[in-house]
Amino acid sequence: MLHDTKELTALLGQVKSIAVVGAVDKPGRPVDMVGRYLIEAGFDVIPVHPKRTGVWGLTTYPALSAIPVPVDLVDLFRAPEHCPAHAEETLAMNPRPRCFWMQSGIASPAARSILADSGILVVEDLCLKVFHQQHIRGGL
């Protein structure tokens, strides 16, 4: 899926809080590297994992629905078959996030379809850390 670089760059310029679904703080794991990068970059990172607590030393929630504060972007580190359920969960959030971002290697036509008319931008198969480094930090 092609993404509009200008649209994503503008969006990330406005994002403050990011829920990382599938958050795990095991060194060397992609989710750990991205989560730590986002924290270091100044985002308010909210880890989401059904069983883990205290990921990256932060309050970790079992589900998106348990997060008590508004979230600007949902960043998914889950297999594609889980993305539709997370899309449904995202639709139920109030206020709704501005973006549903599936990391590199993750795409879900079903999740995209669920969110199609919601006003939530859907990003598939793109690493948030790499995009941020290239277009926000590095500036092209």
Domains of the chain: 5-137 (3.40.50.720)
pLDDT tens-digit map of 12-32: 999 999 999 999 999 999 999
Give the CA count within 13 Å in the CB-facing half-sphere of 30: 16
Residue 53 tokens, joined: 């607590």
Q: What is the mean pLDDT of the chain?
A: 94
Task: Show Cβ contacts of residue 110 under 8 Å, excluding neighbours closer than 6 positions.
Answer: 83, 84, 87
At residue 101, what is the residue type?
A: W
Q: What is the pLDDT of residues 113-126, one digit of tens each?
A: 999 999 999 999 99
CB proximity list for 60: less than 8 A, separation 6 or greater: 23, 47, 48, 49, 52, 53, 54
